[in-house]
Amino acid sequence: MALGTPTLEARQGQTTLRPNFITYLQFVGDDAYATGGTADFNAFVGAALGINATVSAVSGYGKTAGVVTHLLEYDASEDKLLVYVLSTGAQAADAADLSGVTFDAIVTHH
C-alpha cells in the first residue's frame, strides 16, 4: 500500500454489542492507484491507530489544490478503499497518480 502517513483524531461511540469508533483520517493518495481499490485498508487504519481495526464504513473526499476532486467509498467485503473522480463519477484510472490528492476520511471501525 502506498497511501501517505495519516493524521488522526479518534472519537468513540457505543453500541449494545461492541464499541464502535469514528476516526478522522487525513492522508495522501496512492502514487499508482489500482483499479478495484487500494487493498488492505483495515491494516492501514490499524497501523495508524496502533490497534487491530476492522473498518465498517468510510465516507470522505479528496482535494487537489484546495478543490474537491475525488470521493471515497469502502468495499468491506473486499477490504478495499475505492476512489472516484468527482467530475465523471468513474473510478480513478488504473495506475493513476493520486499522490497530489489529500483525502479527508471519516472511518467507522471496531
CA gap 92, 38 in Å, rounded: 11
- Confidence (pLDDT) at 12: 54
pLDDT digits (tens, 9 = 90+) for 56-108: 999 999 999 999 999 999 999 999 999 999 999 999 999 999 999 999 999 99
What global pTM score does this model have? 0.82
- Confidence (pLDDT) at 95: 96
CA gap 10, 60 in Å, rounded: 16
- Topology annotation, domain 7-109: Immunoglobulin-like (2.60.40)
Contacts of 69 (CB under 8 A, 6+ apart): 62, 63, 85, 86, 87, 101
Query: Where exactly are the structural domains of the chain?
Result: 7-109
